[in-house]
Amino acid sequence: MTSVQGLVASPDADSQRTLYPYVTGTSVVGVKYKDGILLAADTGASYGSTLRYKSVERIKAIGKHSLLGASGEISDFQEILRYLDELIIYDDMWDDGNSLGPKEVHNYLNRVMYNRRNKFNPLWNSLVLGGVKNGEKYLGTVNMIGVHYEDNHVATGFGNHLARPILRDEWKEDMSFEDAVKLLEKCMLVLLYRDRSAINKMQIAKITEEGTTIYPAYSLKTFWGFSSFANPTKGAEGSW
């Protein structure tokens, strides 16, 4: 005889996965520059439509050769970091003198995101993975349904619409670190002005052949005196 318990779903059955993203971060922007890879993201996290948290770091070092930045649900990003910790520890246990490079980590993330999507249990994130190994720079992105690609510059969220045109116009392969930082700051400022979920406190991280550096967060200088900000409905009578 089948037990009643076997027929009734556990009360926790629906809480085992993210049904809807609650605490989310916005765009991540990444570029290649002369010596390596730079990633930038603000440190805000929204609780629903409320910009609730102001000091959330969304860029993390992965192993010896990679940096990972994430948009989307913060708890799912933490789950991805747990997967990657296990992957890196398992790789280190072989003690064979080799270590996973950014291309391998990106391929792993592609499979994870696509696999979870196929189970109708996606991780609600868009990821940017950059790194340097054996002098070769690598930069790629993957979203929550497994769509992925490599490029010289990538962005997630609104950044894919607002920052990429700036990057296409101004990015150069031999950019210095200082010029690349200025370009990223310009992109983040444009996003700040146009994305209600963005804040002016941002963080930059770099990775080169020598290693990884995640810089302390700092604030961008803003200007809100534009006439379009002062009177946003001019010429659009009847709108909000």
213 pairs with which residues across the strands? Answer: 206
Over residues 184-189, the mean pLDDT reads 97
The answer to whether residue 188 is domain-embedded is yes
Residues 6+ apart with CB under 8 A from 2: none
pLDDT category at 171 given cuts 50, 70, 90 is: very high
Amino acid identity of 12?
A: D
The answer to whether residue 226 is domain-embedded is no
pLDDT in tens, 13-36: 555 667 888 999 999 999 999 999
pTM for this entry: 0.87
The answer to whether residue 34 is domain-embedded is yes
The answer to whether residue 194 is domain-embedded is yes
Strands (DSSP E) found in 26-173: 28-32, 36-42, 45-47, 50-53, 59-62, 66-73, 125-133, 136-142, 148-150, 153-155
The answer to whether residue 229 is domain-embedded is no
pLDDT value of position 226: 80
The answer to whether residue 237 is domain-embedded is no
pLDDT value of position 6: 40
Q: How far apart are CA 32 and CA 36, in angstroms?
A: 6
Residue span of the structural domain in which 106 resides: 23-93+101-219
pLDDT value of position 13: 52
The answer to whether residue 2 is domain-embedded is no
Using DSSP, state whether 239 is helix, strand or coil: coil
pLDDT value of position 1: 41
pLDDT value of position 26: 96
pLDDT value of position 199: 94
Confirm if 69 and 137 have CB atoms less than 8 A apart.
no
Give yes or no for residue 5 having a pLDDT over 80.
no
Q: How far apart are CA 213 and CA 205, in angstroms?
A: 6
pLDDT value of position 235: 73
Query: In whole numbers, what is the pLDDT of the chain averaged over residues?
Result: 90
Residues 6+ apart with CB under 8 A from 160: 27
Confirm if 71 and 58 have CB atoms less than 8 A apart.
yes
pLDDT in tens, 54-112: 999 999 999 999 999 999 999 999 999 999 999 999 999 999 989 999 999 999 999 99
Active site residues: 18
pLDDT category at 225 given cuts 50, 70, 90 is: confident
Q: What is the CATH number of the domain that holds 89?
A: 3.60.20.10
The answer to whether residue 204 is domain-embedded is yes
How many structural domains compose the chain?
1
pLDDT value of position 231: 77
Kindly state the percentage of the chain with pLDDT values over 90.
80
Q: How far apart are CA 84 and CA 103, in angstroms?
A: 14
**Which two structure tokens, joined as six digits, stand for 82?**
């747990």
